[in-house]
A = this chain, B = another copy of it.
């Protein structure tokens, strides 16, 4: 399959994407001198407030750069498509966003990322910046619950950005921000399905693929193996399969309050997400789980991959609800109109 992408030189995809973002939203975002792969809030560093740094491979917009904003992350850097950013870029971001109150690293649990962020945090400590880390690890299909720390992070990290970002914005200290980030991540569970693969521009060939008429349940956002390959199921069946794994995992129980995120991996249209949510809502209602807030759209993608994921975050106390409901703004999530 030929590449159906609007790009120039495949080697320039990452840099030109970032250049475009910066030109589109100069009031909200700025570069760090000398780094073509990092963005920070225009007002960073915010003195006395905890900075939140994130990052990961390119190709997942609005992840990661899109979560830099008021009430969200303070800075982010990205690597090549589907590859980790380097510890140098992470260190640059760390220094640029530290307002004296320390920095939280909040990103997905992939070994290239964790090792680079760990290395950056060691270098940051040398520079006198305190760093704490929370890893997105919400994909229930990637390891059994007993090995939860091996699980990979997918779209559920959005709840981490929102909740930790609101806590940092409020002026809570690093320990407190870290602790709500952990709480958000710990209480979030996700599962995805893939209906097609995607092509890494620099490679020019499909990074992974899903056979015509088939779908892969639990496939990761870089084509990591799922739990089951099946013929294409209906939306209702997919919602059922997802919630059958998600709900018992935490577990979510009758009487719980939750936030729900129905995420497109790229090519899957909003119409399909709402059809999926239509069933998910019914299942949750039947189980006595109250939905406090729903997000539907592209929150963490894999370029033009077809597929979707559902993430559910249990809101275990009033503080979580308050932080989730606090205002937030990123021009990549809500760039739409004036404010």
Contact = CB atoms under 8 A, between A and B. Distances in A.
Contact of A276 (B20, B277, B329): B20
B6 A276 contact: yes
A25 B297 CA distance: 13
A99 interface: no
A20 B234 contact: no
Contacts of A55: none
A326 interface: yes
Interface stretch (A246-254, A302-310, A312-320): A302-310
Nearest to A161: B337
A276 B23 CA distance: 12
A111 interface: no
Interface stretch (A131-139, A179-187, A220-228, A263-271): A263-271
A336 B161 CA distance: 12
Contact of A267 (B59, B266, B293): B266
A324 interface: yes
A4 B306 contact: yes
Nearest to A324: B338
Interface in A158-207: 162, 193, 195-196
Contact of A7 (B8, B275, B303): B275
Contacts of A25: 294
Interface residues of A, number: 74
Given A275-B8, A278-B16, A295 B235 contact: no
Nearest to A272: B6
Contacts of A306: 4, 267, 304
Contact of A274 (B20, B329, B337): B20
Nearest to A276: B6
Which residue of A3, A6, A278 has the most chain B CB atoms within 10 A of its CB atom? A6
B213 A269 contact: no
A268 B6 contact: yes
A235 B8 contact: yes
15 contacts: A4-B267, A4-B306, A6-B308, A8-B236, A16-B235, A16-B274, A17-B274, A23-B277, A24-B277, A25-B294, A61-B270, A61-B274, A268-B304, A270-B301, A326-B337
